Amino acid sequence: MQFQNVLFDLDGTLTDPKMGITQGVQYALSRFDIVENNLDTLEPFIGPPLSFSFAEFYGFSELDCMKAIGYYREYYGDQGMFENVVYPGIPELLQMLVNQQRTLFVATSKPTEYAEKIIQHFGLDRYFQQVYGSNLDDTGSDKSEIISNVIHKSSLEKTNVMMIGDRKYDIIGANNNGVVSIAVEYGYGSREELLDCKPTYIVETVEKLKGLFSEEGKGK
């Protein structure tokens, strides 16, 4: 695991954002007179760009997707982003990686503005050199593009970069950029979804993720 630069997805990888995201989507749908009382059915919204999800799951037009994203932001920007929980063991993992002199980045489809506030709110900002995300209008939210931005704007060597995430978008993004990936099963992607994308590694828990980065596997 000799990788100096480690990229982390945010939702479903560093934190469990279910309540904030699903209730934000629930609120947006209600503005279209769509009632969804079961938040579990909205879990597929965790991970991919919102515009994709509103179109894919509710057949929204491009215009309605933009309206829905605006409604979602009304809820999420006010309270939803903090209806969120850091997965147990994540701070310890991040501290271990920093102690190994690795450089950490957040690479998320979430707007950069929200992602920065979230990691600061939970005290995770001390571990990361920079946060890379999308724009508030949902542009620039493709994970392949985001990973590419991290590599090029931070002048990283692809052979020394690893991406960690819980959804197929993270693994596909890593593959498209020619970097190593770790798929984590404790988030919101199923094992089948993750394996279909052929990650370099797949782990079930935060503890097993930590185990991959042993003291013998220090960054270069």
| 9 given a catalytic annotation | yes
What are the C-alpha distances in Å from 184 to residues 60, 66, 90, 95, 209?
30, 30, 12, 19, 8
List helix spans (H) across 5-142: 18-30, 50-58, 62-78, 90-99, 112-121
Radius of gyration of the chain, Cα coordinates, nearest whole angstrom: 17
For the chain (length 220 residues), average pLDDT per consecutive 10?
Answer: 93 97 98 97 93 96 96 94 97 97 96 96 98 91 96 97 97 98 97 97 97 64
Supply the pLDDT for residue 178: 98
Supply the pLDDT for residue 219: 42
CATH number attached to the domain at 5-16+85-217: 3.40.50.1000
What are the C-alpha distances in Å from 24 to residues 55, 107, 161, 164?
16, 22, 33, 25
> What CATH architecture is 18-82?
Orthogonal Bundle (1.10)
CATH 3.40.50.1000 spans which residues of the chain?
5-16+85-217
- 2 Cβ contact list (under 8 Å, min separation 6): 217, 218, 219, 220
Supply the pLDDT for residue 215: 55
Supply the pLDDT for residue 217: 47
pTM reported for the whole predicted model: 0.92
Supply the pLDDT for residue 10: 97
**Angle in degrees, CA 174, 178, 179, rounded to 5:** 55
Dihedral (Cα; 57, 204, 197, 3), 10-degree rounding: 120
The catalytic residue among 9, 11, 16, 142 is 9
